[in-house]
Amino acid sequence: MANTVIGNSIVIDGEITGDEALVVQGTVKGRIALEESVFVENSATLEADVEADSVEISGVVTGNITAGTRVEIKADGKMVGDVKSPRILIADGALFKGNIDMDVER
Amino acid sequence: MAKAPTVITAGVVVSGRIEGAEDIEVFGAVKGSIHLDGDVFVDEKARVDADLEVNNLTVHGILVGNVTASDAIELAASARVVGDLAAPRVIVQAGARYRGAIDMGDIEGEIPGEGKGRAGRGRSSGSKGRSSSRPAPSRAARPEPEPARPAPARRPAKKAEPASEPPEPEPAEADDEPELPDAAKKKKVAVKKRS
C-alpha cells in the first residue's frame, strides 16, 4: 500500500502531517495537514481541521477543510464545517452544513 | 486484524495519541503514544518517539520510548532503541543497538532453588550494610546467598554437639567464647563469597 491508512478501529488524537496520501477508515481528532489527497471513507469519523491538496469525503467530517485543488463530498458523506477550495463537488445525497469559499476573484 | 493494516507511510508524521484494535505498520514517524490491541511494526527507515502499549512490537528502525507488550518485543539487527521494555518475551537480534531496562516479568519460577535464595536473602539482611548495598543487582546475586545458608545451618549443629555432653556449664562458656570468633570468621567467609 502506497497510502497511509488509518484503519477502522484506530483512533488518533493529535496531528497528522506529511506529503503522502492519507486514507482514513477510523477516527482522527485534531489536525491533518498533507500535501496530498485525503480520503475519508465510509467508516471514518474526522473531528479535525484538514489542509490537503484534495479531500474526498464518504464518511463524517466535523471541521474546516482547506484544499489546494478540490473537495468532494460524496453521496454518503456528511460534513459540518467550512470549506475553502477552488473546486467543490457535493453529490446528491450528501449532507453539508457550513460555508463554502471558492476564492472567487471578482 | 491484519486484513487492512493501518499504515503510516514514509513522509507522514502522526503526533498525538493512537488507539485501536488492529495492526499498525510505521514507515514514517509517530510521536506521542500508541495504545493498541494489536501489533506494531516499525520499519527500518521509520522513527517512533512514543510510549507503546501493544501486543507485539517489531522494531527495525528508531524507537525512543517505553514499551509494554503483552506478548513479545523484537529488536531487529537494524534497530536503534532507547527506552524501557516490558514483555514476557524480548528478542534482541545481533546488531541491534539498545539502551534501557528490560523487564520480562516474574521469572522466579524458572530459577532453580529460587525459594532457598529468598530464604538466604532474608537472613543476610541481618548484615545491614550488605543488604543495603545490594538491592539493585538482587536478581543476579540471588544464587549467591545459597552458600551462606549452610553456614548458619552448621552453627547450631556444632552447638548441639557440646550441648549433648554432660558437663554443660563450663564447656558451654568455653564454647561460647571461641564460637563467637568462629561465627565471625564464618560471616567473613560468607562476606568473601558474596563479594
Task: Measure B37 CA to nearest chain A CA, in Å.
Answer: 10
Report d(CA B144, CA B139) in Å as an integer. 10
Phi and psi at residue A104, to the nearest 5°: -70, 130
What percentage of chain A has pLDDT greater than the value 90?
93
Q: Are B14 and B27 in contact (CB under 8 A)?
A: no
Q: What is the mean pLDDT of chain A?
A: 93
User: Is B17 in Cβ contact with A12 (below 8 Å)?
Assistant: yes
ipTM for the whole predicted complex goes beyond 0.90: no
Query: What is the sign, positive or negative, of the torsion defined by CA atoms of A42, A44, A49, A54?
Result: negative
Q: What is the pLDDT of residues B67-112, one digit of tens each?
A: 999 999 999 999 999 999 999 999 999 999 999 999 998 766 666 6
- Integer CA distances (angstroms), A60 to A17, A74, A91, B6, B19, in order: 20, 11, 14, 19, 19
List the single best residue of B1, B3, B7, B26 to mutate versus A (max A Cβ within 10 A): B7
Task: Give B126 or A67, the one with higher predicted confidence.
Answer: A67
* Stretch B116-129: mean pLDDT: 43
- For residue A11, the chain B residue with the least C-alpha distance is B19
CB pairs < 8 Å spanning A and B: 80
- For residue B21, the chain A residue with the least C-alpha distance is A9
Neighbours of B13 (CB within 10 A): 17
What pLDDT score does B106 carry? 78
With cut-offs at 50, 70 and 90, classify the pLDDT of residue A9. very high
* Stretch B17-24: mean pLDDT: 94
The contacts of residue A44 (CB under 8 Å, 6+ apart) are A6, A24, A25, A26, A27, A28, A58, A59, A60
What pLDDT score does B109 carry? 64
